[in-house]
A and B are shown apart, each in its own frame.
Chain A
Amino acid sequence: MPAIEILGLEKIYKVGFWRKQTRRALHPLHLTVENGEIFGFLGPNGAGKTTTLKMLMGLVFPTAGTARILDRDWTEPEVKAQIGFLPEQPYFYDYLTAHELLDYYGQLSGVPAKDRKRRIDEVLARVGLTDVRGVQLRKFSKGMLQRAGIAQAILHDPKLVFFDEPMSGLDPLGRREVRDLMEQLKHEGKTVFFSTHILSDAEALCDRVAIIHKGELRGVGAVADLTSSVQGKVEVVWQGTQVPASMKALGAECHITGDTVRAVIADTQQDAAIDALRRERLRLIAITPLRTSLEAYFVEKLQHSQTTAGTTV
C-alpha cells in the first residue's frame, strides 16, 4: 500500500482584482510515495512544492485531480489524525508558550489527556526546546519556530509526515539534527515526504526524489538511478569550429560555441578521443569528469527545460 498517491492534482490560481487572470502553479501531477520511505520533493523556488503540499493538507483546493493518503481519500478528516505537517516558515499563536501550543494541538489531534504531557515532553526534548517550554512563542527566533513546527508535526505520533522546507532557517548544526530526526522517523517505520530547494539536503537522505520545475514533474526515482544517466561520462573540450568525423564516430554529443567545441562521451572512450584529436592536430583544452551528483542531474534537467523554452519563444 503506498503512503501517498497523487492522482493528477493540478492548480491554477486566479489572480488580479477581478480574478480574471490565471497563473498555473502546478501541471497535473502524478506521484506515488511508498510506505516507509524518505521522499524528497525537489525544485527551485516557485516550482510548485508548497502548492502541492497545501493541496494535500486541504488548505487550498485543486483545480482538478485527487489524491489518496494512507489508502483513504485525502479529504477524509480521519486521515489527518495520522499525518503531521510542518508548513514553510511556520508561524504560531504567539501568545502561547511552547508547552501550551503543543497541548492545544494535542487536543485538536485527539491525543488523550493522559498521554499528552508525556508526548509533549518527549517531542520538546527531541527538537531541543525543553529549556524554553515556558517561553511565549513571540520571543522565539526563526530557528526556534522551525523546531516548534517540527515538534507539532510529530506530536501525535503520525504515520506520515509532510515537511515543507524543514531545514530552512536553521544553522548547520540544526540542519544536521533535522536530517537525523528524519532518519529516526524512517527507522520508526514512518513515511517522510519533504520539500527542499537545497539538493545536498536530499542527496544523502532520500530513498527517492521527485524533481519539479515550473509546476511540472521532471523526474522521479532513486537518487542513484537518476544520477546514473550522467555517471561515468567525461567532457572533452578543444579548440576548433567543427567536429571531426572520428569524434562523431565515438557517439559524442557536441556543442560548438565560438572557437571551442565541447563533447560529452563515455569515460571508456577518453583515450580514443584524445587520439582522434591528436590525429586532427586539434588543441585539447580540458577533459573533466562530469559530477555524478544529484546536483549535476538537477542542473541538466533544469537547463534542458530552459533551452527548450528558449527555442520555442
Chain B
Amino acid sequence: MSARIVHIASNTFREAVRDRVLYNLIAFALLLSGAAIFIGQISIEIERLVVVNLGLTAVSLFGVVIAIFIGIGLVSKEIEKRTLYTVLSRPVRRWEFIVGKFFGLAGTLVVNTFFMAIGVFAALLYVAHKFSSSDAFILVALYFIVLEFLILCSLALLFSSFSSPLLSAVFTFALFIIGSFADDLRGFAAMTHGIARWFATAAAYLVPNFSALNVISAVAHQQSVGGQVVLQNSLYALFYSAMVLSGAVLIFERRNLK
C-alpha cells in the first residue's frame, strides 16, 4: 500500500477526532451504564440477554450514524471547500485519495467500536458478575458489526463522489434499511414469478446483505456462530466494499472539480 494512502487515512482520522466524533462515546457510556443499573434491579435470568442485545444494537446504530454522517462529506465537502486542489495537484492519484478516505473512516469506526466493546463487556460483568465461555461470541458479533461499517463507509463514499451530502445521506440510509431486511427480500423474490422474479432477485442480491451480518440476537441467546459463517461474511463484506469502492473510484476519476 502506498504511503500516501496511509497519510490520507490518518489525516481523515485526525479530522474525525478533532471534529469531536469520539464524543459519541460519552453518550454511549451513559446509555449503557443507565441501562445496566436499571436492568440490575430485575430478574437475573434476562439481564445478560438484555445487556448484550441492547449493547450490541447501540454499538451498531452509533456506528451507522457516524459512518453515514462522516462518509457522505468525505469527498463532496473537499470539493465544495476546494481543499482538494492542493492535494490532487501533488503526486496523489485520485484512487489513492478515495481509498485513503475509506481507510481513515473505517479506522475511526474501528477505534470507536473498540471503546464501545469495552463498555459492553463492562456492563455485562456488572450485571452477570462473571464472564462465561459463550461470551466469546460477542466478539464475533462485534466483528460482523465492523464488517457492516466497512460496507456502509464504501456506500457513503460512492454517493459522496457524485451527489450532494443530503442526497448521499438519503441513499446510504435507505440502503442500510433495505439491506437490514435483505433476507426477507430474498425470500420475497423467490415467491414472485416471470420477469418480476428476475428483477426482484437481482435487487435482493444487489443490496448489501446486512441481515446476514446481524447475529446480535443469536449471541444474546448464547448461541454459537460457526467458522463457516465467519469466513463467508468476511469474504462477502470485503468483496462488496471493494466493488463499491471501485465504483466510487471510477466516478471520481472522471470528475471535474468545481
Which A positions have Cβ atoms within 8 angstroms of B? 54, 57-61, 77-78, 80-81, 83, 85, 87, 90-93, 95-96, 104-105, 107-110, 149, 152
Contacts and interface: CB of A to CB of B under 8 A. Distances in A.
A77 B97 CA distance: 13
A60 B90 contact: no
Contacts of B86: 85, 87, 90, 92, 105, 149, 152
Nearest to A78: B91
A61 to B, nearest CB: 6
Contact of B93 (A77, A95, A104, A110): A77
A286 B83 CA distance: 54
B92 interface: yes
Contacts, number: 71
Contacts of A92: 83, 86
Contacts of A91: 81-83
Chain B interface extent, by class: 20 to 34
Given A61-B256, A80-B90, A108-B4, 16 more contacts: A54-B257, A57-B88, A57-B89, A59-B84, A60-B256, A78-B91, A80-B92, A85-B85, A85-B86, A104-B11, A105-B86, A105-B87, A108-B7, A108-B87, A108-B91, A109-B91
Given A59-B89, A83-B89, A110-B91, A95 B15 contact: yes
A95 B18 contact: yes
Interface in B12-50: 14-15, 18-19
Contact of B85 (A90, A93, A104): A90
Contacts of B18: 95
A62 to B, nearest CB: 10
A93 B15 contact: yes
Contacts of B15: 93, 95
10 contacts: A54-B85, A59-B89, A60-B256, A60-B257, A80-B91, A85-B86, A108-B87, A108-B92, A109-B90, A152-B86
Nearest to B18: A95
